[in-house]
Amino acid sequence: MSFKYNAPTLTTLESIFKENHYVIRYEKGRFQSGYCILQDKKVVIVNKFFETEARINALIDILQQIEVDPAVLDDKQKKLFEQLSQQKMELD
């Protein structure tokens, strides 16, 4: 994968969710996977104790489970989303 696990990547991932009307909350909880998705309310809750890399990995996992409209994304967001989609296809 050609992206770095840093704060700008996390910000870009968060903006993909925001453009698709999802709210990301970082809170403590007893999530076995480290996150929880409330589909009906479009809310994603990620363990607040996760470091940046773990947050990015959790958001990537979630992106693969929700429906994303690439038409609402800007160029930077589309590039990252396409990289993640291509990686998923290679793994399947």
Q: What is the pLDDT of residues 68-83, one digit of tens each?
A: 999 999 999 999 999 9
| pLDDT on residue 50 | 93
> Is a pLDDT exceeding 60 seen at residue 62?
yes
Parent domain of 39: 7-91
On whether residue 50 sits in a domain, the answer given is yes
Give the gyration radius of the chain's Cα atoms: 13
In angstroms, the CA 22 to CA 63 distance is 11
On whether residue 64 sits in a domain, the answer given is yes
Return mean pLDDT, the chain. Answer: 91
Residues in CB range of 66: below 8 A, 6 or more apart: 20, 22, 37, 39
On whether residue 2 sits in a domain, the answer given is no
On whether residue 1 sits in a domain, the answer given is no
On whether residue 65 sits in a domain, the answer given is yes
| pLDDT on residue 30 | 80
On whether residue 34 sits in a domain, the answer given is yes
On whether residue 28 sits in a domain, the answer given is yes
The total number of structural domains that make up the chain: 1
> Which residue's entry shows tokens 């396409």?
82
